[in-house]
Amino acid sequence: MSFLSIRNLSVRLKGGPPLLRRVSLDVAPGEVRGLVGESGAGKSMIGKAVLGILPPSVEVTAGEILLDGTDLLTLSAKDRRRRIGASCALIPQDPLTALNPSHRIGPQITDRLVDILGWGRTEAEARAKALLAEVQIADPDRVLRSYPHELSGGMRQRILIASAFAAEPRLIVADEPTTALDVTVQKQILSLIRDMQARHGTALLFVTHDLGVVSKVCQRLSVLYAGMVVEDAAVTDFFAAPHHAYSAALLAATPKYTDPKAGLNPVPEAVIEAVRAEVAAFDRESAR
């Protein structure tokens, strides 16, 4: 029984083109699923739809988002908020804008636990401190009293990870959590997310455009093109033999650091045309 199950989810720009085309995917408890695709493929849109933070210009036209068996889309806004808040969290992309510059770190972690989930103040503070230690922050007391601008990007991303795990969510959406960091820090943050995920047994929806990251962190992945899932596979199978021509080309396009002279292999024109034709055929099908 999967914890998150998305069934035929279609999302479009209000009065505009579709952004997600009947997306289906499952995330089992404790499983890590990667969402890959080029920019604009709709990978972040899936995460936003699950967390109920789609921009107001976007609407869901069809489908179900089952969280622990309940369809979020049929709930009232308030019930949906409460359900998502109780069992999900977000690790955002840009650590520089993901912490409120006006508040100290401590309250940013604890206030949500206290105000929304009804924890005691001392209990929440102890929890925040323990979490910062768990994400290997050397001086938790000082950091909890700091403002975000006093900390480095990598430090802030650690705090965001700690904060995401604070209420022991069952699902975390990580929206390109390493894109805004430099390469040396990326690696540490990745292994940190993986360790935390394994230790807490949290399911993870990992949005990224980097297949290298997927191979390190994920068990399953969905490859998206133009809001359509073109491949859904176990990571080991995928890297051994991708099924879809587009995912194969995407895999081949990933630069290999072991072979720097190999050059870049962009996705061939023919493959893109083929997958575009597939999307067009799909649109004709659903218009009928």
Q: How far is it, in rounded angstroms, from Cα 273 to Cα 28?
A: 34
DSSP H helices in the chain? 43-51, 77-87, 105-115, 121-134, 140-145, 153-165, 183-200, 211-217, 235-240, 245-253, 269-287
The CB-of-75 to another protein minimum distance in angstroms stands at: 13
Rounded least distance, CB 124 to another protein, Å: 13
Quote the least distance from Cβ 48 to another protein, whole Å. Answer: 8
Q: Which is nearer to another protein, 51 or 143 (CB)?
A: 51
User: Please, which residue, 39 or 102, has the CB nearer to another protein?
Assistant: 102
Least distance to another protein, CB of residue 167, Å: 8
Closest CB 161 distance from another protein, rounded Å? 12
CA 155 to each of CA 61, 105, 126, 186: distance values in angstroms, whole numbers, following the listed order: 39, 11, 19, 12
CB nearer another protein, residue 79 or residue 273: 79
Distances in whole angstroms, Cα of residue 81 to Cα of each of 8, 178, 185, 225: 22, 27, 33, 29
DSSP summary character for residue 146: S
Which CB atom, from 92 or from 227, has the smaller least distance to another protein? 92
The smaller minimum CB distance to another protein, of residues 177 and 242, is found at: 177
Whose tokens are 């908020």? That residue is: 81
Contact indicator for 190, 10 with CB cutoff of 8 Å: no
Residue numbers of the site for another protein (CB under 8 A)?
51-53, 56, 78, 81-82, 84-86, 88-90, 92-94, 97-103, 108, 111-112, 115-117, 147, 149, 160, 163, 167
Cα–Cα distance measured from residue 60 to residue 175, given in angstroms and rounded to the nearest whole number: 20
Cα R_g (the chain), whole angstroms: 20
Least distance to another protein from the beta carbon of 270, Å?
Answer: 38
Q: Which C-beta is closer to another protein: that of 161 or that of 245?
A: 161
Q: Which amino acid is at 165?
A: F
